[in-house]
Amino acid sequence: AYGYELLSRTPAFAAAVDIPYCHHERWDGTGYPRGLKGEEIPLAARIFAVVDVWFALRSDRPYRPAWTAEDAHVYIMQRTGRDFDPAVVEVFTRLQPPPEL
């Protein structure tokens, strides 16, 4: 909620205010903080949710190495329609280079 509060005070960031507040909402309504479902979730937050997970999986973390592009792709595809907007994932997939083989 901190990001939401910070951005909401600045008119120039009005279009981005929903991203930090809603990017943990899930397409099927199981997310938080409000339990929004489907197109109730702002489009910018639906896009950011996919991109955020992609980069989290593809990045080294102190507790695990980065996933391969193929494994990250499989993970996102398995959660499409549940966690992620299928239309957003379709566009995201088209914009990504093919997974490393």
Residue-level pLDDT at 101: 47
Residue 60: CATH number of its domain:
1.10.3210.10
In a domain, 9, yes or no: yes
In a domain, 19, yes or no: yes
Residue-level pLDDT at 87: 98
In a domain, 100, yes or no: no
Residue-level pLDDT at 1: 61
Contact 30, 46 (CB under 8 A): no
Q: Check whether 5 has a pLDDT greater than 90.
A: no
Q: How many folded domains does the chain comprise?
A: 1
Lowest mean pLDDT segment, chosen from 18-22, 25-29, 92-96: 18-22
Q: Check whether 21 has a pLDDT greater than 90.
A: no
Q: What is the pLDDT of residues 44-99, one digit of tens each?
A: 999 999 999 999 999 999 999 999 999 999 999 999 999 999 999 999 999 987 65
Domain containing residue 21: 2-32+40-95
Residue ranges in the chain assigned as alpha helix (H): 2-8, 18-22, 43-58, 69-78, 86-95
In a domain, 101, yes or no: no
In a domain, 53, yes or no: yes
